[in-house]
Amino acid sequence: MCRKGKTTVPDTLKTPLYPLHERLGASMAAFAGWALPMSYPAGTIAEHKAARSGAALFDVSHMGQVEITGDGAAEALERLMPQDVVGLKDGRQIYGFLTTEDGGILDDLMVSREGDVLRLVVNAAFTEADLDVLRQGLPEAEVRHDTSRALIAVQGPDAEDALAAHAPEVRQMRFMDAARSGSMWITRSGYTGEDGFEISIPAGEAEALASALVQSGVQPAGLGARDSLRLEAGLCLSGTDIGPGTSPAEAGLKFAIPKVRRRDGARAGGFPGATRILAELTGDGPARLRMGLRPEGRAPFRAGTPIFAGETAETPFGHVTSGGHGPSVEGPVAMAYLPRNPPQPDSLVWGEVRGRRIPARIVPMPFHPHAYRR
């Protein structure tokens, strides 16, 4: 157990909101090299519920913000990812991923367009790796890692009202819209399954905005709530639920590959691993899929929990990639890669926790319905 009192996390980077976290009494943890709040005095479950029924604020400044400019940048980016970057309109955002030659996923990311500028948000743990790939793949373009800005997520049904006081533009936005409001670049998106916004803001202005939002009743929320929210929403964590060893179809991310990049599309293929990735989109698809599990009882299936086809089966046929308690579903939830056939949806599998087999039902994801403002 940790020491009492102020928790210090050595050798970590601090976000522009670090002083605010300390003032709010956060318990800090190291994540991808950054000191970030694990939870605030309200506790993870209360923070989670605030995002589902009110509004919650997350410091996601650790994520990599990358700006790409230059002629042909969109075309060049399509050589690295199977999304429609060329067709991305000004003021819109897409979800996508960088792929590997083997048809796996290097990292997932968001791309928004402001005029001729493409703005990417990539995962903190993979920022350097992604930058290498982007710079090699886009030699003609300028790829700039913008470390001068914070990133704040405001999530929940009350997010629009809370943010509109500072950026009235947000009232006109729909899910995956992107808009400028003064020095802020705002997208209507997030990582919780709720309606909400991510705000890119100059570091020096971040604390004033965040503390005003908290003053107005937005609940500050830490990494614990962020993880349970995205888990209930069925969203992948890069490096955990997806990675070089999992293809987009296996991960259930077919929705993110538009027609124009699929076989017979106007700009079909042309990205790393295209042969396998596109082949898996047709016919029977891959042999295994990322599936949702609802374990019986209250014991969570944590990452690594082996999953068996039967109560006495000797060898596991899959493992949990991430799992834990779902405060909104009021019970444990987990994701695992399991053979597509069998089991069928709703069939029973078994997880082994502390030497005991616990039944779990395969259910469709998300575990908690999305509430995006489309």
Where along the sequence are the contacts to other proteins (CB under 8 A)? 1-5, 38-39, 43-45, 224, 228, 298-300, 302, 324-325, 332, 354
Among residues 3 and 374, whose Cβ is nearest to other proteins? 3
Q: Which is nearer to other proteins, 30 or 281 (CB)?
A: 30
Nearest one of 323, 172, 318 to 237, comparing CA atoms: 323
Q: Smallest distance, Å, CB 291 to other proteins?
A: 22
- Between 156 and 224, CB nearer to other proteins: 224
- In the complex, what is the shortest distance from the CB of residue 88 to other proteins, in angstroms, rounded to a whole number? 37
The residues that bridge with 35 in the sheet, in sequence order, are 14, 30
- 47 vs 158, beta carbon nearer other proteins: 47
The least CB distance from residue 317 to other proteins, in Å, is 24
Pick between residue 203 and residue 299 the one whose CB is nearest to other proteins: 299
Residue 46 or 313 with smaller CB distance to other proteins: 46
Please measure the distance between the N-terminal and C-terminal CA atoms of the chain and give it in whole angstroms.
44
